[in-house]
Amino acid sequence: MRFVRELGEPWGLLLAATSAGAAWAVQLPVLAALGVGVTVLTARAGIAAATRPKPVSELEERPLPDVEPGSPEADWLRRAEAAADGFRAISASLDTGPLADRVADMEPVVRETVDTLRRLATRTSATGKALTRVDLGAVSAEKARLRKELKTADDDIRGDLTQSLEAVQAQEDVHARLSNARRKLLAQLRSGALGLDGLVARAAELSAATGDSLLDTTTIGELGEQLEGIRRGVVETEEATRRWRAS
């Protein structure tokens, strides 16, 4: 049952289609290209069904602790996890050779990258919840009212109004910082997930070659460089988020 569910998982189908397209792009016959896609889909489904924690109900989605269900960050995280499953499936399907060795070496880095994206998704949800605690419309209205009162205020209440205006401005500033932080986190989540998608597509393309003799060390090395760029991007975002939270 779980294996059948994994076969129909949207990101798995997308990965299979991408893999088949990559195989066709390197001029494999149509049937062979379709075979690459089917192989990747079934391998990914088998591994995912065997390794994912069994849910309480087969109808329930795998929970994402501390990530808001149905949120953009949850969607991007699931996409990144699906790409990691696909990469692992490709690794398992490769024959012994330089490409298989390189892809196997990359698996821990892929997992590490997804773990970092998971932490970023958690922080994105936390930031979103914090944003809901500041009613920007009410703050803006109060700010406009205080400014209007200050224009005609007597000296004995001007100081109190000024303090109130500063407090309201502080709330507005907090909302702006939180909004900016959430936008940056979502942008990195999207970049990381799409980057892993691209990595899987590239690995599928290389796996579609008729033999490792067609792949030079430079080509194989580029796969690792692509992953390192993705990993560095998400790590730098996480470090920047920590500095912001500490400030």
For position 242, what pLDDT does the model report?
79
Is position 90 within any domain? yes
**What pTM, to 2 d.p., does this model score?**
0.68
Is position 172 within any domain? yes
Over pLDDT 90: what percentage of the chain? 51
Burial (CB count <10 Å: 0-12, 13-18, 19+), residue 151: exposed
For position 47, what pLDDT does the model report?
47
Is position 7 within any domain? no
Is position 236 within any domain? yes
Domain that holds residue 85: 70-246
Is position 23 within any domain? no
Is position 128 within any domain? yes
Is position 42 within any domain? no
- The total of structural domains in the chain comes to 1
Is position 189 within any domain? yes
pLDDT in tens, 153-205: 888 999 999 999 999 999 999 999 999 999 999 999 999 999 999 999 998 88
For position 3, what pLDDT does the model report?
41
Extract the residue ranges of the chain whose pLDDT is less than 70.
1-65, 209-216, 245-247
State the distance between the two ends of the chain, measured CA to CA, in whole angstroms.
49
Residue type present at position 173: D
